């Protein structure tokens, strides 16, 4: 039958509000040892977003902007690509390869976890 996204995803998801500053996001990423944060929805109908260290480097630091004055909502990707918990790991890998992303939230009505290239390498091989 094979592994599914829900079998290998990380269930302890760290999120941040879209109104937080990039400096706050960096501090949280550093504290938790993460390379990305899921950005909370503003309401039930809203989409989740994602902010990555690459976003911070290219959209803030390289532009000479202040992490204290730029908000997460200004640099995040939203809506972001999401994964169904029942998607096979093989199909998640194909999705990542096709889109060039390295991680995605796992969602079924609500945020269940995050799956990353690292999860696939560590747990599926």
Give first-to-last CA distance, the chain, whole Å: 15
pTM value?
Answer: 0.90
Q: What CATH fold (topology level) applies to the domain 5-124?
A: CBS-domain (3.10.580)
DSSP state of 52: E
Does 1 or 103 have the greater pLDDT score? 103
The helix (H) or strand (E) run that includes residue 50 is strand 49-52
In this model, does residue 2 exceed pLDDT 90? no
Delimit the domains of the chain by residue range.
5-124
- For 16-66, the pLDDT digits (tens) are 999 999 999 999 999 999 999 999 999 888 999 999 999 999 999 999 999
Alpha-carbon distance 40 to 60, whole Å? Answer: 20
Does the pLDDT of residue 124 top 80, yes or no? no
At 51 the pLDDT is 97
Please enumerate in sequence order all residues whose Cβ is within 8 A of that of 63, keeping only pairs 6 or more positions apart, or say none.
none
């Amino acid at each position: 039958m094979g592994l599914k996204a829900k079998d290998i995803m990380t269930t302890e998801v760290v999120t941040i509000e879209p109104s937080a500053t990039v400096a706050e996001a960096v501090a949280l990423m550093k504290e938790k040892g993460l390379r990305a944060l899921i950005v909370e929805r503003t309401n039930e109908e809203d989409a989740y977003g994602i902010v990555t260290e690459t976003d911070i480097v290219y959209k803030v630091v390289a532009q000479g902007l202040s992490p204290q004055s730029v908000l997460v909502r200004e640099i995040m990707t939203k809506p972001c690509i999401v994964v169904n918990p029942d998607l096979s790991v093989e199909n998640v890998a194909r999705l990542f390869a096709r889109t060039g992303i390295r991680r995605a939230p796992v969602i079924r009505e609500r945020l269940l976890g995050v799956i990353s290239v690292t999860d696939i390498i560590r747990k599926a091989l």
